[in-house]
């Protein structure tokens, strides 16, 4: 009996793990949360401003948006394809009392109109970025600030790059030359 329960639990845990971590790989990127300290460094480096609307494309547990709302006075929308992370992050948003400023949408960023963004935060693989950029360039405000963490947009010259070349900030109207960080 104990063995049966153990293996049912183990199978369930494995399926949940697969759903949270592995399945999103097929849609754009695996889950690898940005550390809280790093989130603050990124938002400081990018020079975000209170009142701006930030989208996190693949918002994971919602941490980027929660910090943006609580500490930077921003409003945010998180697009997360994984129903389990979307569900969990909605509760985390409520726990931190920012549900009036942060919305989590269970949707693929490939199928969502985020043209009202002032700031985009993107921590995704090069493959996902390559697919995303052509579609998103048409729709975004010219003054939008795009923050890429870990991986750069391979066909755009960033306006700002941090010292260890992990944070790339783009402003579309400031240049479209090929960059040297890919
Ligand atoms: C590297 S994690 C980043 C999580 C969060 N932005 C952070 O910095 O902590 C990438 C996230 O994107 C999600 N994701 C992958 N493909 C997606 C898609 N097509 N639409 C929405 N979310 C996606 C994954 O489920 C995962 O949570």
Residue nearest to atom 8 of ligand 1 (CA): 34
Q: Is residue 16 part of a domain?
A: no
Residues 6+ apart with CB under 8 A from 91: none
Residues of the chain under the 70 pLDDT cut = 6, 17-29, 174-182
Number of folded domains that form the chain: 1
Domain that holds residue 124: 31-174
Q: Is residue 22 part of a domain?
A: no
Contact, 159 vs 130, CB < 8 A?
A: no
For position 103, what pLDDT does the model report? 98
Q: Is residue 8 part of a domain?
A: no
Q: Is residue 47 part of a domain?
A: yes
Residues with CB under 6 A from ligand 1: 24, 27-29, 31-34, 56, 58-60, 63-64, 79-82, 85, 108-110, 123-124
Q: Is residue 42 part of a domain?
A: yes
CA distances 128 to 1, 96, 120, Å, are 45, 30, 15
Segment 70-92, tens digit of pLDDT = 999 999 999 999 999 999 999 99
Helices (H), 22-163: 36-46, 63-72, 83-95, 126-139
For position 178, what pLDDT does the model report? 42
Q: Is residue 7 part of a domain?
A: no
Distance 3 CA to ligand 1 centre (A): 35
User: What CATH number has the domain bearing residue 59?
Assistant: 3.40.50.150
């Amino acid at each position: 009996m104990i063995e049966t329960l153990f293996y049912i639990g183990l199978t369930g845990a494995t399926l949940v793990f697969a759903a949270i971590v592995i399945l999103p790989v097929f849609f754009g990127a695996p889950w690898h949360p940005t550390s809280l300290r790093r989130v603050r460094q990124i938002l400081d480096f990018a020079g975000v401003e209170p009142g701006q609307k930030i989208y996190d494309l693949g918002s994971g547990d919602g941490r980027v948006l929660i910090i943006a709302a609580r500490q930077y006075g921003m409003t945010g929308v998180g697009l997360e394809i994984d129903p389990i992370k979307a569900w969990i992050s909605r509760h985390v948003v409520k726990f931190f009392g920012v549900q009036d400023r942060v919305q989590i949408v269970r949707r693929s960023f490939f199928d969502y109109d985020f043209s009202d963004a002032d700031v985009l935060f993107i921590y995704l693989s090069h493959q996902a970025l390559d697919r995303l950029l052509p579609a998103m360039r048409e729709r975004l405000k010219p003054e939008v600030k795009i923050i890429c963490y870990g991986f750069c947009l391979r066909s755009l010259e960033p306006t700002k790059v941090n010292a260890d070349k992990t944070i790339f900030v783009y402003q579309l109207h400031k240049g479209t030359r090929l960059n040297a960080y890919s």
